[in-house]
Amino acid sequence: MAAWGERLAGVRGVLLDISGVLYDGGEGGGAAIAGSVEAVARLKRSRLKVRFCTNESQKSRADLVGLLQWLGFDVSEGEVTAPAPAACLILKQRGLRPHLLVHDGVRSEFDQIDTSNPNCVVIADAGEGFSYQNMNKAFQVLMELENPVLFSLGKGRYYKETSGLMLDVGPYMKALEYACGIKAEVVGKPSPEFFKSALQEMGVEAHEAIMIGDDIVGDVGGAQRCGMRALQVRTGKFSSRKAETTQMAPSR
Amino acid sequence: MAAWGERLAGVRGVLLDISGVLYDGGEGGGAAIAGSVEAVARLKRSRLKVRFCTNESQKSRADLVGLLQWLGFDVSEGEVTAPAPAACLILKQRGLRPHLLVHDGVRSEFDQIDTSNPNCVVIADAGEGFSYQNMNKAFQVLMELENPVLFSLGKGRYYKETSGLMLDVGPYMKALEYACGIKAEVVGKPSPEFFKSALQEMGVEAHEAIMIGDDIVGDVGGAQRCGMRALQVRTGKFSSRKAETTQMAPSR
C-alpha cells in the first residue's frame, strides 16, 4: 500500500458520500459517525475543494442539508450533488412525464415536473412505499408503454440504518427490469454522468479528485471508472461481510 | 406447421397449466376460460393421461382444487403437481428450516415444517405480502446466514387476473438475489426436477407427453428442455404484447 502522501499527490478536490460516511440514518434522524463532523471541518479549512455526492433519494436536498447541519456538519444545499435534481434535468431535456414511485420526503424535488399521463417511471429509495400495490402500479404503467423507460435513482443493494441493514432501490429496480424485460437507466452513483456533473460543479478534473464512500460498487468502482481515485471507509455498510463480495478494490 | 395428427403422434399424457389456461384468477375467485371446463372433461374421457402442473403458490392444493371444482372442473387434489409440496420435500431432505415469505393461503402446506431458527428463506407469490417490511425481513435473514439459501416457488414475471396484469414471485426473487449477491433455487416450472416429478406421477415418459400452458418460458421452454412437446394457449397472459419477447417458441 502506498504512503498517504503519495496516494494523495495532486489531489485538489474531495467528493464525500454522505450516508454511512458522515452519518447513519435511523430513528430520530440518525447519528453522526464518530469523527466525521471534525473531519469535514478540517477538509473545509484545507486547500482542498469539497463536494458532497450522495445517492440519498428519500429526502430533498433541503431536508438532507437541514439534518446534516443539525448533526453539526458545515454543509450547504449548493454543495450537494443528488440524484433527484439530476433526474429532473433529464426528464425536462427529454420531454418525459414520470410516474413517481418515490418517498414522500423527496417528492418536492419533482414539484416543477409534469406527471400527468406518464410516459416513463422514476423509482427511488421509497422505503415503506415499496408496497406490492405501488410496485404493481409502476409495473402496469411500464407495460402499457410502447417504449418503456425506467429511471432508477441509484442502484444500491442496501444501506445501513442504526437499526440494521435496509433494502435500497437497486433490488426494486432489478424486480421491475425482470418483470418488464427492460434495462433501467441509473441516475446517481455509479453512473459516470453523475460523477462528471459533481466534478464539473467542483471545478476539478477526474485525475485531481478522490471519492470517499462506504459502497465498494457505487462509490469506489464508479469513481475509479471515471478516472478518479477512491477510498472506502470502514463505517456504514462496510462492516457487513457481504459488502466485500466483489472484484472491485479501493485505490492503493 | 405440422398437422395436428402428426404433432400429437405418440402422445400418451397431457400436462395442463392451470392459471391462464383453465381460469383467470381475480375477484370472487376468478372465472373459467371459455371452453376449458369441457376441454378437461373431453381429455379425461379420452385415452390420454391428464395431470395438472401449476406454479400456483397463493393457495394450498386443497383450496385450489376446491375453487376449480366450484368453477366446474373435474379435478382432484391427487392430480395436481404444485411447488409448495415439492418445496416441503426438499426442505425435509436437506434438514432446512425456512423463513417463509408466502401468502397466507398457502401457509397450511408448511404445517409440518419446522420454521424455528431459520437457516433458509422460501418465497412464493405473496401478493400484498410483498411489503417492504416483509422483503426487508427476508433480506436480513439471508444476510445473517453463513451460506444463504433462497428458494423461490416459480420465477414467473407476472400473471393475469381479471383486473389486469399482476407481478408474480419472479421479480421479488430477482430483488433478493441482487440484494444478497446470491442465486435462488427455483422450485416449480421451469425447473426440470419439477416437470420430471409430474411425469413420474403420471407414469409417462417425457417424449410421450405434451405441456399446455400460457407462459412461453415457464411452460413451453421448460417442458421442451425436458424433452416434452409444448403448446402455448392464446389465453391468460399470452395476449400481452410483452409475453412474446423471448427466443422460445411452441413445438411445431
Output the pLDDT for position A242. Answer: 46
The answer to whether B167 contacts A175, with C-beta atoms less than 8 Å apart, is yes
What backbone phi and psi angles, to 5 degrees, belong to A77? -60, -35
Which of A130, A132, A169, A217 should be substituted to probe chain B, the one whose Cβ sees the most B Cβ atoms within 10 Å? A132
Instruction: Pull the grid cell for residue A246.
Output: 466483489
Contact A247, A219 (CB under 8 A): no
In Å, how far is B118's CA from the nearest CA of chain A?
A: 18
B20 backbone φψ class: left, alpha, beta (φ>0; ψ -120 to 50): left
Q: Which residues contact B223 (CB under 8 A, 6 or more apart)?
A: B15, B190, B195, B209, B210, B211, B213, B229, B230
> How would you class A74 by CB atoms within 10 Å of its CB: exposed for 0-12, middle for 13-18, buried for 19 or more?
middle
pLDDT digits (tens, 9 = 90+) for B128-174: 999 999 999 999 999 999 999 999 999 999 988 878 899 999 999 99
pLDDT digits (tens, 9 = 90+) for A105-143: 999 999 999 999 999 999 999 999 999 999 999 999 999
Side chain identity at residue A6, one-letter code = E
Task: Pick B174's closest partner by Cβ from A139, A165, A178.
Answer: A178
Output the pLDDT for position A163. Answer: 83
Output the pLDDT for position A14. Answer: 97
The C-alpha cell 413420474 sits at B200
Mean pLDDT of chain A: 92
Q: Is the ipTM here above 0.90?
A: no
Query: Mean of the pLDDT values across residues A203-229?
Result: 95
Task: Pick A242's closest partner by Cβ from B132, B171, B181.
Answer: B181
Output the pLDDT for position A243. Answer: 43
The answer to whether A178 contacts B167, with C-beta atoms less than 8 Å apart, is no
Identify the CA nearest to B69 among candidates B23, B15, B26: B23
Task: Pick B178's closest partner by Cβ from A128, A170, A240.
Answer: A170
Task: Give the bridge partners for B231, in sequence order.
Answer: B212
In Å, how far is A17's CA from the nearest CA of chain B?
A: 20
Task: Pick B143's closest partner by Cβ from A177, A181, A240.
Answer: A240
Q: Which residues of A touch B130 (CB under 8 A)?
A: 131-132, 135
Query: Mean of the pLDDT values across residues B198-227?
Result: 95
Which residue of chain B comes nearest to A142, CA vs CA?
B242
Query: Mean of the pLDDT values across residues B171-185?
Result: 98
Residue A214: DSSP 8-state? S
- Own/partner long-range contacts of B29-33 (Cβ < 8 Å, ≥24 apart): B29/B67, B29/B70, B29/B71, B30/B67, B30/B71, B30/B161, B30/B162, B31/B71, B31/B162, B32/B71, B32/B72, B32/B73, B33/B235, B33/B236
Interface of A with B (CB under 8 A): 126-133, 135-136, 139-140, 143, 157-158, 164-168, 170-172, 174-181, 240, 242, 245
Report residue B121's pLDDT band, with 50, 70 and 90 as the boundaries: very high
**Could you tell me whether strands B49-53 and B13-16 are parallel, antiparallel, or unpaired per DSSP bridges?**
parallel
Contact B180, A171 (CB under 8 A): no
Output the pLDDT for position B2. Answer: 64
In Å, how far is B172's CA from the nearest CA of chain A?
A: 6
